[in-house]
């Protein structure tokens, strides 16, 4: 449901292809190998592999360099069933700003997010009806050569019921490498530190992406594995979809969230939520204009544990999940 890191690892996660980075289906970086762009912060007279923020390759010579990379809004709904059902409705607002970095072939992306989550808990013990999360992700990308890219991310975040301040501010760390073995094969190696007290505290981030042809893509990545198939049909039947690429997909993964809150008798505690999920969906991928994603799935293995044991851990019933995301 929620995501501890603020760096969206499960849904709308940034995807890296050779010299291209997209986020929520919208291109935020494009760099063809045969014709490098010259960013505004460097005075160069020779061509060299440097980043060009937020521009398509066919527009880079005349278009102004943009700091604003785009914004997105996502709505996630889990109804929650039974005597131990946990219903959750989450709205995620985010935006991205690209900044030049002092090092050649690199840039910095700032990604603030805000996520209110409305909770409906049917169990025997009380739990807050509203939870909040706000973060500011600062991600540094650097292309080392035509094969290797490195990435490091620091995400300070505030997660609370709006009343509790103790332990409400935490920091997530993400680090990794991307190896573009070929246009068809890409490998990622990384780790995520979520600053939690359970097994979700440190998790691997990585795997492989294999695109054998233009119609199939296999994202065998942790913590979300997906198989995608290009859907040519939707490009012709959906209005205003010229230039968009549509992908149908199925996936399986896990996720969670963390919030500080006031427990029974006004005691301070921290709730750690974990879930597993299987989903199917359709996403529209564009270079510069609007992109969208809709997915439907089933969440299971749900649990809520408490760091200071002021409440008994929740064992939560499975549920369906519906998520819709729009990016501009």
Taking only the tens place, the pLDDT of each residue in 266-278 is 889 999 999 999 9
Q: Is residue 289 part of a domain?
A: yes
Joined together, the tokens standing for residue 159 give 């997660």
* Helix, strand or coil, per DSSP, at residue 237: helix
What is the DSSP secondary structure assignment for residue 286, as one 8-state letter?
Answer: B
Joined together, the tokens standing for residue 145 give 């050569």
pLDDT at 315 over 80: yes
Query: What CATH number is associated with residue 70?
Result: 2.40.160
pLDDT at 234 over 80: no
Q: Is residue 6 part of a domain?
A: no
Interstrand relation of 319-327 and 86-100 (parallel, antiparallel or unpaired): unpaired
Q: 195: which residues sit within 8 A by CB, 6+ positions away?
A: 4, 170, 171, 172, 201, 258
Nearest residue to 221 (alpha-carbon basis) of 261, 253, 177? 253
**Domain of residue 79, residue span:** 15-327
Q: Is residue 9 part of a domain?
A: no
Q: Is residue 10 part of a domain?
A: no
| Phi (first) and psi of residue 46, to 5 degrees | -120, 155
- Where do we find the tokens 């594995």? 225
H/E stretch holding 235: helix 232-237
What is the DSSP secondary structure assignment for residue 49, as one 8-state letter?
Answer: -
Please tell me the distance from the alpha carbon of residue 328 to that of residue 323, in angstroms, as a whole number.
Answer: 17
Write out pLDDT tens, residues 109-159: 999 999 999 999 877 788 999 999 999 999 999 989 889 999 999 999 999
Q: Report the helix count and the strand count for the chain, using DSSP H and E.
A: 1, 19
Write out pLDDT tens, residues 169-228: 999 999 999 999 988 999 999 999 988 877 778 888 889 999 999 899 999 988 889 999
Please tell me the distance from the alpha carbon of residue 143 to that of residue 3, in angstroms, as a whole number.
Answer: 27
Distance between first and last Cα of the chain: 22
Please tell me the distance from the alpha carbon of residue 186 to that of residue 184, in angstroms, as a whole number.
Answer: 7
What is the tally of structural domains in the chain? 1
Q: What is the structure's pLDDT at 154?
A: 95
Q: What is the structure's pLDDT at 236?
A: 59
Q: Is residue 51 part of a domain?
A: yes
**Dihedral angle computed from the Cα positions of residues 157, 163, 166 and 172, in that order, rounded to the nearest 10 degrees:** -10
Joined together, the tokens standing for residue 241 give 């979809």
Q: 124: which residues sit within 8 A by CB, 6+ positions away?
A: none
Q: 110: which residues sit within 8 A by CB, 6+ positions away?
A: 96, 97, 99, 136, 137, 138, 139
- Asked if 277 and 253 count as a contact pair (C-beta separation under 8 A), the reply is yes
β strands within 181-236, DSSP E: 185-193, 202-204, 206-213, 216-222, 224-230
Percentage of the chain lying above the pLDDT 70 cut: 75
Q: Is residue 7 part of a domain?
A: no
Q: Is residue 199 part of a domain?
A: yes
């Amino acid at each position: 449901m929620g995501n501890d890191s603020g760096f969206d690892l499960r849904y709308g996660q940034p995807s890296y292809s050779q010299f291209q980075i997209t986020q929520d289906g919208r291109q935020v970086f494009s760099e063809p190998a045969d014709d490098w762009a010259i960013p505004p912060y460097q005075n160069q007279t020779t061509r060299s592999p440097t980043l060009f923020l937020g521009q398509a390759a066919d527009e880079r010579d005349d278009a102004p360099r943009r700091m604003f990379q785009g914004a997105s809004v996502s709505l996630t709904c889990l109804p929650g069933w039974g005597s131990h059902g946990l219903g959750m409705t989450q709205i995620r607002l985010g935006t991205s700003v690209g900044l030049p970095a002092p090092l050649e072939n690199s840039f910095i992306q700032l990604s603030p997010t805000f996520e209110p989550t409305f909770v409906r808990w049917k169990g025997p013990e009380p739990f807050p009806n509203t939870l909040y999360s706000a973060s500011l992700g600062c991600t540094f990308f650097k292309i080392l050569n035509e094969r290797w890219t490195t990435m490091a991310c620091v995400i300070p975040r505030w997660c609370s019921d709006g009343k509790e301040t103790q332990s409400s501010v935490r920091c997530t760390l993400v680090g990794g490498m991307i190896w573009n073995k070929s246009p068809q094969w890409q490998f990622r190696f990384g780790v995520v530190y979520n600053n939690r007290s359970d097994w979700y505290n440190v998790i691997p981030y990585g795997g492989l992406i294999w695109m054998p042809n233009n119609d199939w893509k296999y994202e065998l990545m942790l913590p979300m594995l997906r198989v995608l198939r290009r859907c040519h049909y939707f490009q012709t039947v959906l209005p205003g979809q010229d230039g968009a690429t549509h992908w149908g997909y199925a996936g399986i993964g896990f996720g969670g969230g963390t919030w500080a809150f006031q427990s029974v008798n006004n005691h301070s505690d921290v709730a750690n939520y974990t879930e597993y999920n299987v989903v199917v969906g359709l996403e529209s991928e564009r270079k510069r204009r609007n992109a969208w994603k809709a997915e439907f799935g089933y969440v299971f293995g749900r649990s809520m544990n408490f760091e200071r044991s002021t409440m008994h851990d929740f064992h939560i019933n499975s549920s369906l999940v519906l998520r819709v995301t729009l990016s501009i």
